[in-house]
Chains A and B, each alone.
Chain A
Amino acid sequence: MNLLLILLPVLPAVMALGALSGLLGPRGTTCAVLVTSALALVLAGVGADGLHLDWLLLGTSLGLDATGRALLAVAALVWGAAAISSRPLFAGEAGPRYSMCFLLTLAANLGVLIAQDVAAFYVSFAVMTYAAYGLVVHDGTDEAVRAGRIYLVLSVAGECLLLSGMFLLAAEAGNATAAEMGAAYAVLTHPELVAGLLLAGFAVKMGILPLHVWLPLAHPAAPVPASAVLSGLIVKGGLLGWLRFLPDGEPALVLPGDVLAMLGLAGAVLAALIGCFQHRAKTVLAYSTVSQMGLLALPVGLLVAGRGEAALLIPVIALFAVHHALAKGALFLAMDHLKGYRPLLAAVTVLPVLALVGAPFTSGLVAKGALKSVMPDALATLVTLSSVTTTLLLLRFLVLAWPRRDSQTVELRRVAVAAWLLLIAAGLVLPWAMADAVHRDYAFQPGVLRDAVWPLLAGMIVAAVAARAIRPWWRFPEGDVVAPVERLLIRVHGALAHVLEDVLRAVPGPPQRLLSRSILSRLLGLREPGIPWVGLQLLALILLLPVLYLLAA
């Protein structure tokens, strides 16, 4: 059974090669993903002991902790649904390429879930990052290419942060596994530096506040199924990184933890507000992801800062992640089905929306409730308040995504719809099933129910008022601060490139010939001496010799 763990990343990775060569057609690719998903589901259900492979990489540890198991189940569902939706894309002209990137991203994503040591995790994480690029730019539009570029720039920056953090970590603690992290940090000279680097590095993937700018560009640019996995699962890679490679309650890490918590909270609110002023449904969803990840960063920050017990916090974090992955995956996949005028399907779409808002009886209720239960009251109130902005944001989404009567009807693929519905159903059920009894009970306490309802209503009222007050609706650029920063960087790069070119011109590269022509030609101008000259020299020489002999004597 344990050996099956390794199949999780290996199977899709090998299939990726088949996809590239065209041996594995669209059907084959879909099947490959589904088989992998089934395997993942089985493993998530049964669980697996740790597996240590000495010969792989730098000595690899694989394993499934509780968080990993939960997310593995979710990943299986979302990837499966996305694969079914992707079927037309697998078949397109660029199908082999898309299939390869899809399968590789899957492999790496599963790898992230099961990797327990620094090196193996980083491997999966990096492959996931680069393979996902292929999903982001798949459409090949200018917009997608720009989004991809910004994604890459931030990813590479993130890699650098991670790499330096991991150097510092592994140099003193070796290629430690997640279980040994506590002990590992105890021996570090600069634990706060390592923690800061790792937090920041993974924060790029999570879209935590100042590093989120790539996300509202990249997620919408990708094809719909790819957006679903990007927003639903790939971002969770950062979360797992945090959980695995940062210790809980290390005294030196109070500051980084607090900073993370505050950034998370700020992101949760700000991203939602900015998202309200977007004009594309997928962008709104992307901002929602930024916002929700901010909410998720909050408990992680508390965990790192030692302001909560790990035993309490970690299940809650996992629960929230599961809830968000399913809901967000379903919402992105909905974009395919809302293209024509289909009110029924649109109505179904409201279900995950409600879940994200945390409406009563949804998965959001138990997830958010659990979140609040482990926090200080002040923070819990703030989280409740953030539900207002979330409501606003998702209302904006519904407004943008709601099908219009005049829209062209696109033929539905029944199997894709079925998969989507299955995903929504799972989103409704699974978090409840995974939650502890404590959290389930907590969700039904009157106070909690009240706290779930009033932000919803408040949001609706605010939205109604704002819709009348603000006309025309403001437009906020996608990726908010990225545009000016990008312009600035382009200008700086232009200037730097000039300077660089000037410098390189001033310091000419190494010469192609070591002897310069002028010296050569001067030397080559030598004429053979004439006889009188030779004779004179000879005479001088013969007379000089006795003199030299005498001098030396």
Chain B
Amino acid sequence: MSSIPDPFGLAAAALLAVGFYGFVTHRHPLRRLLAINIFGNGVFMTLILVARWMPGGPDPIPHAMVLTGIVIAVSATAFGLALVRRSMTQEDGDRREPDDD
């Protein structure tokens, strides 16, 4: 491993930090969901970094893991977005008229 900070690694760390910060500070559910996704991307980059670092060239396994992770993240995000939408329409509904859905 090189002593010079790997820009790839730095990017991963930055993503993690931004994601974490966003998750902690934002109150709006949509923003928070985005923050989680950013954090997730940081994690995936870390995995790719690990794959690069492995002795004997890039290791395929972390890549497989990233793919799986992305699938899961996407589906979870989709579910989250649906929930956010539901909660927002509900709030609107609350403001206008009682919800009978």
Chain A contact residues, CB within 8 Å of chain B: 531-532, 534-536, 539
Of B20, B24, B25, B27, chain A has the most CB atoms within 10 Å of the CB of B24
11 contacts across the A-B interface (CB closer than 8 A) = A531-B23, A531-B24, A531-B27, A532-B24, A532-B25, A534-B24, A535-B20, A535-B23, A535-B24, A536-B24, A539-B20
The 7 closest A-B pairs by CB, nearest first: A535-B24, A532-B24, A532-B25, A531-B24, A535-B23, A539-B20, A536-B24
Given contacts A532-B24, A534-B24, A536-B24, 8 further A-B contacts (CB under 8 A): A531-B23, A531-B24, A531-B27, A532-B25, A535-B20, A535-B23, A535-B24, A539-B20
Which residue numbers of B lie inside 8 Å of A, CB to CB? 20, 23-25, 27
Closest to A533 in B: B24
| Contacting residues, chain B, for A539 (C-beta < 8 A) | 20
Min Cβ gap A546→B in Å is: 15
Rounded to whole Å, the gap between the CB of A537 and the closest CB of chain B is 10
How far is A536 from B21 in the complex, measured between Cα atoms in Å? Answer: 9
Minimal Cβ-Cβ distance residue in A for B21 = A535
Return chain B residues, CB-CB under 8 Å to A534: 24
- Chain A residue nearest to B27 (CB atoms) is A531
Cα(A532)–Cα(B27), bound, Å: 9
Which residue on A lies nearest to B26, using beta carbons? A531
Chain A interface helix/strand/loop/mixed = helix
**Neighbouring B residues of A535 by C-beta, 8 Å:** 20, 23-24
Q: Which residues of B contact A531 (CB under 8 A)?
A: 23-24, 27
Contacts of B25 in A (CB 8 A): 532
Chain B residues in 8 Å Cβ range of A536: 24
Nearest CB in chain A: distance from B40 CB, A: 16
Query: In chain B, what residue has the closest Cβ to A539?
Result: B20
A213–B20 alpha-carbon span in the complex (Å): 94
Quote the shortest CB–CB distance from A535 to chain B (angstroms): 3
Q: How far is the CB of B62 from chain A (nearest CB, A)?
A: 21
Shortest CB-to-CB span from A323 to chain B, Å, is: 108
CA distance A524 to B44 in the complex (A): 43
A144–B24 Cα gap in the complex (Å)? 88
Residue of B nearest to A535 (CB): B24
Task: A534 to B20: give the CA distance in the assembly, Å.
Answer: 12
CA distance A535 to B27 in the complex (A): 13
Q: Which residue of A lies closest to B25 (CB)?
A: A532
Residues of A within 8 A of B23 (CB): 531, 535
- Return B18 CB to nearest CB of chain A, in Å: 13
CA distance A531 to B32 in the complex (A): 11
Q: Distance (Å) between the CB of A426 and the closest chain B CB?
A: 107
Measured CB to CB, the nearest residue on chain B to A531 is B24
Chain A residues lying within 8 Å of B24, measured Cβ to Cβ, are: 531-532, 534-536
Q: Which residues of B contact A532 (CB under 8 A)?
A: 24-25
The smallest beta-carbon distance between A452 and chain B, in angstroms, is 119
A536 to B27, CA, bound (A): 15
A540 to chain B: closest CB distance in Å? 12
Report how far A7 CA is from B83 CA in the complex, Å. Answer: 96
Distance between Cα atoms of A319 and B20 in the complex (Å): 112
Q: Which residues does chain A contribute within 8 Å of B27, judged by CB atoms?
A: 531
State the CA gap A539–B25 with chains docked (Å): 13
Give Cα A532–Cα B25 distance, bound, in whole angstroms: 6
A539 to B23, CA, bound (A): 12
B36 to chain A, nearest CB (A): 12
Cα–Cα distance between A286 and B79 once the two chains are bound (Å): 106
Give Cα distance in the complex from A535 to B23, angstroms: 8
Please measure, in the bound complex, the distance between the C-alpha atom of A536 and the C-alpha atom of B20, giving whole angstroms: 10
Q: How far is the CA of A536 from the CA of B23 in the complex (A)?
A: 11
Bound together, the chains give a CA A25 to CA B31 distance in angstroms of: 99
Q: How far is the CB of B37 from chain A (nearest CB, A)?
A: 16
A402-B24 Cα distance, complex, nearest whole Å: 112
Complexed CA–CA distance, A531 and B28 (Å):
12
Determine how close the nearest CB of chain B comes to the CB of A192; give it in whole angstroms: 90
Q: How far is the CA of A532 from the CA of B32 in the complex (A)?
A: 12
How far, in angstroms, from A494 to B51 measured CA to CA in the complex?
A: 93
Q: Give CA–CA (A247, B60) in the complex, Å.
A: 112
- Shortest C-beta distance, A184 to chain B (Å), equals 91
C-alpha spacing A534/B27, complex, angstroms? 13
A387–B18 CA distance with the chains assembled, in angstroms? 120
Nearest opposing residue in chain A for B23, CB measure: A535
**Could you tell me the distance between the alpha carbons of A226 and B24 in the complex, rounded to whole angstroms?**
95
B20: A residues at CB distance < 8 A: 535, 539
Task: Please give me the residue from chain B that is nearest to A542 by CB atom.
Answer: B20
Of all chain B residues, which has the CB nearest A534? B24
Please, which residue of chain B has its CB at the minimum distance from the CB of A532? B24
Give CA–CA (A531, B25) in the complex, Å.
Answer: 8
* C-alpha spacing A182/B82, complex, angstroms: 106
- Chain A: which residue is nearest B32 at the CB level? A531
Chain B min CB distance to A529 (Å) = 12
Tell me the bound Cα distance from A532 to B26 in angstroms.
9
Within the complex, the shortest CB–CB distance from A409 to chain B, in Å, comes to 102
State A535–B25 Cα separation when bound (angstroms).
9
The CA-CA distance from A358 to B23 in the complex, in Å, is: 117
Q: How far is the CA of A539 from the CA of B39 in the complex (A)?
A: 14
Q: Which of A531, A534, A536, A539 has the most CB of B within 10 A?
A: A531
In the bound complex, CA of A539 to CA of B24 (Å): 10
**Cα–Cα distance between A535 and B21 once the two chains are bound (Å):** 9
A532 to B35, CA, bound (A): 13
Q: Tell me the bound Cα distance from A536 to B25 in angstroms.
A: 10
A532 to chain B, nearest CB (A): 5
